[in-house]
Chain A
């Protein structure tokens, strides 16, 4: 049943009155009935001087009525808790010739408010009618249904003030089973005495404004052409009766809190997402080196490893992944051609990368990982397939691939990264973002403070007090060993020297930049097919060897290789902190 009424029809204040006498029964039955008088603008005259709103007329000069305990609810169809059943009171007109018109006429005052007396506008309406018999009641309800009434009030004729009988009482018997559903509006019964009062009032308030009680007074306040009619408000029990207001309040507060938490979480997630994208961008542009800053220990994906050149040791003939597996014939042929046109010029066959790529054969006799010697290709023997990393160090592909894929992105020999510049791992985690911010903040602080800037270790972190003491400790310990301080002039070339011919020690990372070109130049100057050990393999003299190793140990102590920040955080944070952090990423910073 569609509300066909402008919302302002409802008088102000009516609701307030009702909420005061709401009691705590949970039925949708009527709790109380209030009748007030409204001044309704005449739609035909609307426009000049009329307010346009229905107004409640002050109780002192109008009809007012409130009853609480003697309403019997016969049908709750169409009524809901919290929504009062309201409308203008009127008596429906029955069909022409309906016998009930006559039978009920004696119970209705002559000039009671009828449909014709209501403003010609679709205001909500509530019907009132006598219950003389079930059939007549049905007729009235049918007539009301045609006017889309909000509800109907029945009364059993007679001047009784007793509450009408229960809905199961035979008085209410109707020769139809589905009348409640068919009508679709609530049905109430009120005592005959109360009905009498209402009907008399209704009769008094059916005519022009001047005809109603206090009519002349009313014309002073209202347009005399306005309708003055009774308005019924049946309280069906406010929603507050089903849910105490304290709970509503708590729920509202809880809801607001949840909304705030949700919004904060959402915005923090968004912020963190932006930071991750920002970090990814800066890593891709080469501004941030995750590995060098100790933010994340990177590994090399297999796709990248596959792009690094493979070739047959001693020839420089490239081996592609496919040909490595299938074409041993081709390899032999390449070997054959190579043996005639040997020195470093690359073969005419397709090179894996650009034409500027030149393999550096024989710069290394051994694979540093499995300690196997590489076999140079010569007529009759097949050369070892080796992989050359960007730093020109050679390994068996099966040796270095596992290490680079699973453990580290650094060359095992020189600790230079094998990843291309601007390489960014697939996932950037919040932990990495946090760590990067921390490093950046420390750097900014250091660059602000020129004193501190001098004492910065290779990770860009300022040396702590203890680290400075450590430096002092070293000198202290070495002073305890007179005559042991030697050879400050250990050149980078010597540092590259290996401790034993078969177990090469990688040069310290700090000198990596200088050693890598060295390797290259060595390899170029060398005879490509010499099978003896390269010159740099000779161990240093025993005295300098110790000093060299000591410096290496010092370097190793200073070097903090990046761990996996995520694993570390998982290890060190408790469950609830993880939960909080999951909800509010970037909570700590």
Chain B
């Protein structure tokens, strides 16, 4: 069931690409369970202009269990681990339902970027601390710096 649904999702994306994504495709032709996506940094935020590569690993029980999504491009966000790219989003864990798809989940990740994140359950403590202390300008600057340094095509 998983591969059939993945093919459908991929077809649907190719027919109607999401503005949040620059690219979405399986890593290789014969492996449907590992995808690579390139996410656009949401406009009007400090991530604007960034191109973030994400790896998506789909379990064989998909869609009953959520896909595993990680940032490959380092990203400065309170809920993303800067080193491993692990994302703290309950959609990817407990509140997953099969009605979500890969594309909509990636869109949710993009919304996580524009929403600013939740400094309560941080994976990036430094940024979370700035946010908790209310230094929005500092946080914004830090994010902008890292986006420019790591996620912008030169």
Interface residues of A (CB under 8 A from B): 297, 368-372, 399, 402-403, 406-408, 410, 412-413, 415, 464, 466-467, 469-470, 472-474, 476-477, 480-481, 484, 499-506, 542, 549-550, 552-554, 556-557, 559-563
Residues in A whose Cβ lies below 8 Å from that of B100: 503, 505-506
Q: A369-B99, A477-B114 known; A402 and B64 CB under 8 Å?
A: yes
| A473 & B119 in contact (Cβ 8 Å cutoff) | yes
Q: Which among B5, B46, B99 is the interface contact of A412 at CB below 8 angstroms?
A: B99
Interface residues of B in 1-45 (CB under 8 A from A): 1, 4-5, 8-9, 12, 16, 18-19, 43-45
| A502 & B8 in contact (Cβ 8 Å cutoff) | yes
| Shortest Cβ distance from residue A68 to the other chain B in the assembled complex, whole angstroms | 81
Q: Does B65 contact A (CB under 8 A)?
A: yes
Residues in B whose Cβ lies below 8 Å from that of A406: 64
Q: What would be 26 A-B contacts, judged by CB atoms less than 8 Å apart?
A: A368-B99, A369-B64, A370-B1, A403-B64, A403-B97, A408-B97, A412-B98, A469-B119, A469-B134, A470-B116, A473-B117, A473-B119, A474-B116, A477-B115, A503-B9, A504-B99, A505-B100, A506-B97, A506-B100, A550-B111, A550-B115, A552-B108, A554-B111, A556-B111, A559-B95, A560-B90
Q: Which among B18, B89, B101, B118 is the interface contact of A470 at CB below 8 angstroms?
A: B118
A561 to B92, CA, bound (A): 11
Q: Does B131 contact A (CB under 8 A)?
A: yes
SS of A interface (majority) = loop
Q: A370-B4, A371-B8, A554-B115 known; A506 and B99 CB under 8 Å?
A: yes
Interface centre among B5, B9, B95 (most CB of A within 10 A): B95
Nearest 9 CB-CB pairings of A with B: A553-B111, A481-B44, A561-B94, A561-B95, A412-B97, A368-B99, A503-B101, A369-B98, A412-B99
A484 to B44, CA, bound (A): 8
Q: A407-B64, A556-B91 known; A476 and B136 CB under 8 Å?
A: yes
Residues in A whose Cβ lies below 8 Å from that of B131: 469-470, 473
| B9 & A469 in contact (Cβ 8 Å cutoff) | no
| A464 & B95 in contact (Cβ 8 Å cutoff) | no
Q: Which among A464, A557, A563 is the interface contact of B115 at CB below 8 angstroms?
A: A557
Q: Does B58 contact A (CB under 8 A)?
A: no
Residues in A whose Cβ lies below 8 Å from that of B63: 369-370
| B99 & A413 in contact (Cβ 8 Å cutoff) | yes
A161 to B5, CA, bound (A): 110
Interface centre among A472, A476, A553, A559 (most CB of B within 10 A): A553
Residues in A whose Cβ lies below 8 Å from that of B19: 542
Residues in A whose Cβ lies below 8 Å from that of B118: 467, 470, 557
A464 to B8, CA, bound (A): 42
Q: Which among A481, A499, A553, A560 is the interface contact of B45 at CB below 8 angstroms?
A: A481
Select from chain A the residue with minimum beta-carbon distance to B89.
Answer: A556
SS of B interface (majority) = loop
| A476 & B104 in contact (Cβ 8 Å cutoff) | no
Q: Does B107 contact A (CB under 8 A)?
A: yes
Q: How many A-B residue pairs have CB under 8 A?
A: 139
A371 to B101, CA, bound (A): 10
| A466 & B115 in contact (Cβ 8 Å cutoff) | no
| Shortest Cβ distance from residue B96 to the other chain A in the assembled complex, whole angstroms | 8
Select from chain A the residue with minimum beta-carbon distance to B133.
Answer: A469
| A549 & B98 in contact (Cβ 8 Å cutoff) | no
- Additional 12 contacts, C-beta under 8 A, given A370-B5, A474-B115, A556-B108: A372-B8, A410-B97, A470-B119, A470-B131, A480-B140, A503-B100, A505-B100, A549-B108, A550-B115, A556-B111, A559-B90, A561-B93
Residues in B whose Cβ lies below 8 Å from that of A562: 94
A286 to B136, CA, bound (A): 44
A369 to B101, CA, bound (A): 9
Select from chain B the residue with minimum beta-carbon distance to A407.
Answer: B64
A554 to B118, CA, bound (A): 9
A371 to B97, CA, bound (A): 13
Q: A403-B64, A502-B12, A550-B115 known; A467 and B44 CB under 8 Å?
A: no
| Shortest Cβ distance from residue B132 to the other chain A in the assembled complex, whole angstroms | 6
Residues in B whose Cβ lies below 8 Å from that of A368: 98-99
Select from chain A the residue with minimum beta-carbon distance to B79.
Answer: A557
| Shortest Cβ distance from residue B41 to the other chain A in the assembled complex, whole angstroms | 12
Residues in A whose Cβ lies below 8 Å from that of B103: 499-500, 503
| B98 & A561 in contact (Cβ 8 Å cutoff) | no
Residues in A whose Cβ lies below 8 Å from that of B136: 473, 476-477
A472 to B8, CA, bound (A): 40
| A549 & B45 in contact (Cβ 8 Å cutoff) | no
A554 to B114, CA, bound (A): 10
| B45 & A466 in contact (Cβ 8 Å cutoff) | no
| A399 & B98 in contact (Cβ 8 Å cutoff) | yes
Q: Does B112 contact A (CB under 8 A)?
A: yes
Q: Which among A297, A500, A560 is the interface contact of B12 at CB below 8 angstroms?
A: A500
| B119 & A550 in contact (Cβ 8 Å cutoff) | no
Q: Which among A297, A467, A499, A557 is the interface contact of B112 at CB below 8 angstroms?
A: A557
| B97 & A415 in contact (Cβ 8 Å cutoff) | yes
A444 to B152, CA, bound (A): 51
| Shortest Cβ distance from residue B68 to the other chain A in the assembled complex, whole angstroms | 16
Select from chain A the residue with minimum beta-carbon distance to B88.
Answer: A557
Residues in B whose Cβ lies below 8 Å from that of A560: 90, 94
Residues in A whose Cβ lies below 8 Å from that of B4: 370
Select from chain B the residue with minimum beta-carbon distance to A562.
Answer: B94
| Shortest Cβ distance from residue A501 to the other chain B in the assembled complex, whole angstroms | 8
